Structure 1
């Protein structure tokens, strides 16, 4: 079944493809899409297989490589030969995998609170989330989600927005089997030994108060990728693309301008 996708901006602009985190929805990138379009980019968003408007059964055992192949399908469906891929967390893993599997399709990577190998802290967080899901069901799982996404003060100051997101996530929950398969895929991901093979410009973005993914994972990515720029901020949480959107967008647009110039020059 074809994946839901949407295209924004000028048809002749360089393409930025947006790959979301565990939630899988293109809507995660609402704070970024207008800024990218204003900068002249053609923006492609999609709902990942088994989530949102892309229902379907996942292959077993499910892997990040399957998700990377789905990106190729979206690119083919939208007539996209090559893209700048921006991925958040799980979406960043998809970008890394695609850069290894089909390097000719990737012009640059923006990796937001992503990682190259498992770590014990994130494993503990996922164990707790899966325990909630198994013992108490989807409602408890999605009610806990903001704890891992946002800084406490930001979540308290935006309580109505956060609750609306929780209610939406519950209404569109993909099912326990799908969620467990997606989490298992990201927990199994390990390309740390292959980072040196990824020969494209990369912007590695991390928030040092991320509750789910230690900022040291971003530092490790920047150390291992041959052409990486590391952007660390002290506050913003796991979803700092939303909590610090203006600064985040400025950083991304500046990187993309440099990456585009590099691609043109080569």
Structure 2
């Protein structure tokens, strides 16, 4: 039997405080947002969580696992916390979860921020995930993690942070995610397609993309912004796929400015 999903409520604890829910990408870890917590917690109630089947939320995921399942899990967790209205910030796979929630419960979402996300899986991104699956099948977890870093970060950022990065990779190798769950999560994001429904999702949305993102072409974000009725596009020149980590100051400035404008 699966344990409850690990979730934390940080920052302002007043139930009337504006709430920001962060949802991570494929890794599913709340730790992904460490670079945002200090600034966001000063004014907001902040929710972070380990997605089911990842990190501190061990679970056996069903064979038909989908992004819709991930939205179900988060929605249930927020309901248990009596969080009924919130801003949503999702990175990559987390952004897909946000699109499903925005389609289902638009009146509960004050705004959505979609970071290097997409409405359907494009051929380039699918090729990247095919390589990831091949590395998983080979059993070479170390190579998988090195490949992951190449997809997430700019080359000069890797050079400047190589010691920290290698330390994290050693830790991740000792705590490598469940293989079956990881493959199911890759399958879920690969099959996701909400493109034809975008015009019906009327939630105030900021779409953030990085021109140097090696994993997800920035044009996928351009497509989102052009089809969502209440969306704007912010194109960052630098930061790779994980600009919230590689350029936290600029990312936080953009995010906080958006939240303040919506509020």
Q: How does 1:117-266 map to 2 (within 5 A)?
A: 117-260=120-263
Using the alignment, how far apart are the partners of 2:90 and 2:35 within structure 1? 14
Q: Which one is further off, 131-140 or 230-239? A: 131-140
Q: In structure 1, what is the equivalent of residue 41 of structure 2?
A: 37
Using the alignment, how far apart are the partners of 1:111 and 1:205 within structure 2? 6
1:168 is displaced (CA, Å) by: 2.6
1:89 aligns to 2:84 (yes or no)? no
Using the alignment, how far apart are the partners of 2:115 and 2:24 within structure 1? 10
1:154 is displaced (CA, Å) by: 0.5
TM-score by length of 1: 0.95
| Equivalent position to 1:104, from 104, 107, 121 | 107
TM-score by length of 2: 0.96
How many residues are matched?
259
Q: In structure 1, what is the equivalent of residue 53 of structure 2?
A: 50
| Equivalent position to 1:10, from 12, 17, 21 | 12
Q: Note the residue ranges of structure 2 that are not aligned, 5 or more in a row.
A: none
| Equivalent position to 2:23, from 2, 15, 19 | 19
> Do the aligned partners of 1:15 and 1:83 also contact (CA within 8 Å) in 2?
yes
1:143 is displaced (CA, Å) by: 2.5
The list of structure 1 runs, each at least 4 consecutive aligned residues, that deviate by more than 6 angstroms after superposition, is none
Using the alignment, how far apart are the partners of 1:80 and 1:117 within structure 2? 29
Q: In structure 2, what is the equivalent of residue 113 of structure 1?
A: 116
Look up the SS of the partner of 1:30 in the other structure.
helix
Using the alignment, how far apart are the partners of 1:73 and 1:231 within structure 2? 31
1:102 is displaced (CA, Å) by: 2.4
